[in-house]
Amino acid sequence: MHAPDPAHSHAWKPTPLAVLGGAPAFAEPLHVGRPNVPDRAKLLQRIEGALDRRWFTNDGPLVQEFEAALVRQLQVKHVVAMCNGTTALEIAIRALELKGEVIVPSFTFVATAHALQWQEITPVFADIEPATHLIDPAQVERLITPRTTGIIGVHTWGRPCDVAALAEIADRRGLTLLFDAAHAMGCTHRGVPIGRFGAAEVFSFHATKCVHSFEGGAVATNDDVLAEKLRLMRNFGFAGYDRVVYLGINGKLSEIHAAMGLTSLEDLPRVVAHNRRNFELYRQGLAGLPGLRLLDYDDAAAESRNYQYVVVECDPAASPLGRDELAAVLTAENVRARRYFYPGCHRMEPYRSLLPDALKRLPVTEEIVAKVLLLPTGPTLGETEILSVCGILHRAAAESVAVRGALPPPDGASPTSRIL
């Protein structure tokens, strides 16, 4: 059976586009990051077990089981589960004794930068490569100063950084290499699971991630000494009932969270298969849209991917409508497309005030934050919804003059800054 052609199949929406006065295409919002619900019976059984045991936190059996399952999934020696990805980053940064300056991309969720600044370490923002949205190793090298102690690469959208180039720079310049792998559960680089690179890699199990524990995170490492330090630091530094050996914090994951984490991890193959189908539908459905580039994958490369994010770039020179105009069209239809990571960490506080010069060396970041739009995916969406979203975009392009006329003029605040 041929998939319907979204450019010509608008039977789904006989009314005008919602920005032109029609009814929204969807009664309920379609989200980027709708949480996945794994096997309910299994989840509830695990929660019942925790209630029966009356063991709710402090390295309980479900946390240990979750960590063991992650060790197998990531093929790494140690995984230390934490209460969220941001705390996991903070604890990893502290355990690795980073200080002074650490080089990070500005094009990331603000938590990557905050985890440093929270500990009075200066995030030095590096630019990204335009084709991949990943940190540019050549610029990393140029940003190293005597105060630099580390590099944090972010596997944005689950796409691996140039691990070899970053590792070579880190080794040669005596720096620690850490990865923010918040997006990268289930992804590989040259056949090796992300989770095994650098001194450590940090995952997020926030509700919006493909593997989640409502809230949660973890640090993966092959380093025995570091793993032990991470375990102590997430539990106030306690090495025994009365013995505190490090400055620590409460970074523990609870049993209820681990119950969801375990059940969600078991569900990963189903989620990835669904995301992949959705991605292929978007690939077909977005084809032929002028000025819209889907950040695609090379299907010939033998890599695992989670297809968690559907990322498009809207080229203002070639698209009849700008990125924010398209976002406004979609929002009116109840499609909550998102502008991650607009406007870039360097334009957010406190970095905007503390590091005003960063702007000058981030031309690609500046360009990408103005172009990127994330489209909804995940198991709650199927062919009908995806082809409808693509159909809306085709129709908006075809009716761009009317659409532009219907949207409020850009006035410094973009149309979507009120809506998104």
The site for ligand T4K (CB under 6 A) is made up of 31-35, 84-86, 108-109, 111-112, 154, 180, 182-183, 204, 206-208, 217, 336, 340
Contact between 152 and 175 (Cβ < 8 Å): no
Residue-wise burial string across 367-386, b where 16 or more C-beta atoms lie within 10 A, e elsewhere = bbbbbbbbbbbbbebeeebb
Phi-psi region of 38 (alpha: psi -120 to 50; beta: other; left: phi over 0): beta
Q: How far is the CB of 179 from ligand T4K (least distance, A)?
A: 10
C-beta of 33 vs 391, nearer to ligand T4K: 33
What the block records as the tokens of 39 is 């096997």
What the block records as the tokens of 92 is 């990893």
Residue nearest ligand T4K (C-beta atom): 85
Q: How far is the CB of 396 from ligand T4K (least distance, A)?
A: 21
Q: How far is the CB of 38 from ligand T4K (least distance, A)?
A: 14
Q: How far is the CB of 287 from ligand T4K (least distance, A)?
A: 26
C-beta of 202 vs 358, nearer to ligand T4K: 202
C-beta of 182 vs 281, nearer to ligand T4K: 182
Amino acid at 28: E
Q: How far is the CB of 174 from ligand T4K (least distance, A)?
A: 26
What the block records as the tokens of 364 is 């690609």
Q: How far is the CB of 203 from ligand T4K (least distance, A)?
A: 8
C-beta of 183 vs 231, nearer to ligand T4K: 183
C-beta of 101 vs 215, nearer to ligand T4K: 215
What the block records as the tokens of 28 is 């309920």
Rounded to an integer, what distance in angstroms lies between the CA atom of residue 150 and that of residue 145?
11
Q: How far is the CB of 57 from ligand T4K (least distance, A)?
A: 18
β-bridge partners, 314: 292
**CA 205, chain centre distance (Å):** 10
Contact between 364 and 136 (Cβ < 8 Å): yes
C-beta of 133 vs 206, nearer to ligand T4K: 206
Helices (H), 13-84: 40-53, 61-74
Measure Cα distances from 251 to 106, 274, 330 in Å.
25, 32, 38
C-beta of 109 vs 279, nearer to ligand T4K: 109
